[in-house]
Copies of this chain bind each other. A is one copy, B any other.
Amino acid sequence: MRLHPVIMAGGSGTRFWPLSRKKRPKQFLALATERPLITETAERLGSLARRQDLLIVCGRLHAASARRLVKGISAKNVIVEPAARNTAPAIGLAALHVFRRDPQGVMLVLPSDHHVADVAGFQRALAQAAEIARGGALVTLGIRPTRPETGYGYLRLGEPLAGQARRVAAFVEKPDLATAERYLQSGEYLWNGGIFVFRADRILDELHRHMPELAAGLDTIGISLGKQNAARVLARTFPQLPSVSIDYGVMEKAQDIAVVKGDFGWSDVGSFAALPEVRPQDARGNVVSGSGAVLIDCSDCVVVTAGRPLALVGLKEMVAVDSGDAVLVLPRGRNQDVREVVAALSKDPKLSRYL
């Protein structure tokens, strides 16, 4: 069985401004370790797949960075989306490429911007999922919750399947805190980490069943692959595809989704405030990334420096980030307000170049 990892690197969020920029979104930042998240994502696959079978899907602006940061990847394995159309079209496009190379090939669909602490456990879970997927099932990795998180979607566990897999009874939306606590207590819910394992032919089948408009466009693109007009067909067709997530478009509707439970120190590194999940803390709960930080009487702060001095005195539960050409300071609990900063910058002709 040949495994075809597909690293989904189309994201372009703003929650890590000023570190993240239009040309340098989150997946290209060294947030959890000293290496960029996308580099870690490729490296943690170990010997599960050959490097020549690894695909990256990303936007035009990011293809060069992706090639630079993932060692040994060839240009033809970087699939450039002509426009950002969410995960269903991106996965469909990747499936066309995998199918053409290896009709029964099993895809490992991997977000490019998450962190995994226990790499061996992660590989074991993926291998188990691939074994199940080989038989035709759509498989997802469900992550055992460690706290009543309201920021993630959940999977409700269904009946047992072969091995230690379970059927997914339902995909459920982000819960409120009381519901999240109930989920945590029950043991019957797992986090949906957006990691999927399935055969290329099977996901294309399911796209035909549940997203016929998308599938028709993919057919057009698929026919062109390897031909002279491929780039032109892609550029014309892809931007017209419906912008829908694979979760909403397929997973929530398909029958017989299997879930393999994982417990491998996963984090989606959702914001600066989440860095304490993945980075060591000092005795006062501060997380410091980079050199040049001077902390006097600070506690429970998240600090990212650019080498030059970033001096903080008497701060509690704050985020302070110096990207080298811009600085952000805000309370840990208000990380979502980075949006407002980005909105203000985008309205200012002198400052919008910092986005």
Contacts and interface: CB of A to CB of B under 8 A. Distances in A.
Nearest to A321: B311
A351 B294 contact: yes
Contacts of A313: 328-331, 334, 337-338, 340-341
Interface residues of A, number: 36
A348 B305 CA distance: 16
Contact of A314 (B310, B312, B314, B337): B337
A318 B316 CA distance: 12
A95 to B, nearest CB: 40
A313 B17 CA distance: 13
A291 interface: yes
A297 B341 CA distance: 11
Contacts of A64: none
A311 B297 CA distance: 22
A354 B309 contact: yes
Given A308-B354, A313-B329, 11 more contacts: A17-B311, A292-B350, A294-B348, A310-B327, A311-B341, A312-B329, A314-B330, A314-B331, A314-B337, A320-B327, A327-B327
Copies of this chain, count: 2
A337 B318 CA distance: 18
A153 B126 CA distance: 73
Interface string A75-94: 00000000000000000000
A326 B311 contact: yes
B325 A308 contact: yes
Nearest to A355: B309
A45 interface: no
A296 interface: yes
Nearest to A297: B337
A329 to B, nearest CB: 5
A315 interface: yes
Interface in A139-187: none
24 contacts: A17-B311, A18-B309, A18-B311, A292-B350, A292-B351, A294-B345, A294-B351, A296-B340, A297-B337, A309-B326, A309-B327, A309-B345, A309-B351, A309-B354, A311-B326, A311-B328, A311-B344, A313-B337, A314-B331, A315-B330, A315-B331, A318-B329, A320-B329, A327-B327
Q: Which residue among A18, A330, A334, A348 has the maximum number of chain B CB atoms within 10 Å of its CB?
A: A330
A313 B334 CA distance: 8
